[in-house]
Homo-oligomer: A and B are copies of this chain.
Amino acid sequence: MTYCIGLNLDEGLLFASDSRTNAGVDDVRRFGKMRVFAVDGDRVIVTLSAGNLSLTQNTLNLLEYRANHGDGTSLYSAQSMFEVASLVGDAMREIRKRDAPYLRDTGIDASGTFIVGGQIKGEVPRLFLVYSEGNFIESNPDTPYFQTGEIKFGKPILDRMVTPQTSLDEATKCALVSFDSTMRSNLSVGPPIDLLRYRRDALSIDLKMRLEDDDPYLNQVRSHWNDSLRMALESLPTPAWMTPQG
């Protein structure tokens, strides 16, 4: 499994992804799921991938190869993020056409998903979710974020807290709590966590870092969150019907 989040906020974009892949519980490896295609002053494009690793990796390899060697539209020449999402979807279709029938033959899941976000000069920052089939949707103020992979454990905190007005700092904290909740409940999501922040109109990356499992701040988030939830639970009023009977 995998867990990735992309948020499109007024202040900018936030991306976070875990680094665990597994083919069964006895074949666990470490693979980052974040890729960046950037030209300072012109564009910052970030992809987060979930699903079959060969599928998503080769989709990116194809995109990268074409960007460096092809003469058609590439991630570095696309004029809009819409075009970028189309390129990702098209590349995934190509790879799936090649591999999916063979995977299905042995009952292997041949699906993959991308969160694709960024800003190209002349546009506002945009965020897309590209499905396995190559089609895609774009975030809007009602739904300012996308998740892929093991999304459920970490969704409540995002649903409760994130709006387009959420600051990048708050959103970063919220994302780390969401990752902590997910990693606690699902072994197939694991550190390190890759984090990338992009400030609107900067056209260069604000922050890119990797938080290992023993990262001091991650530990702080964990213990602070546990303590806070315990306090929140303790401070919940006790209704009359709950007091001990007899």
Residues of B within 8 A of A157 (CB): 229
Smallest CB–CB gap between A174 and chain B, Å?
A: 6
Q: A184-B156, A184-B160, A233-B173 are in contact. Are A239 and B217 (CB under 8 A)?
A: yes
Instruction: Say whether B245 contacts A206, CB under 8 Å.
Output: yes
Residues of B within 8 A of A245 (CB): 199, 206-207
Q: Which applies to chain A's interface (DSSP): helix, strand, loop or mixed?
A: helix
Minimal Cβ-Cβ distance residue in B for A186 = B152
User: Copies of this chain, how many?
Assistant: 2
Most buried by B among A174, A209, A228, A235: A228
Whether A105 sits at the interface, judged by CB under 8 Å, is no
Whether A170 sits at the interface, judged by CB under 8 Å, is yes
* Cα-based distance from A182 to B160 in the complex (angstroms): 12
Whether A159 sits at the interface, judged by CB under 8 Å, is yes
* Cα-based distance from A16 to B225 in the complex (angstroms): 25
Taking a contact as CB atoms closer than 8 A, the residue among B169, B207, B229, B242 that contacts A161 in the complex is B229
Smallest CB–CB gap between A226 and chain B, Å?
A: 6
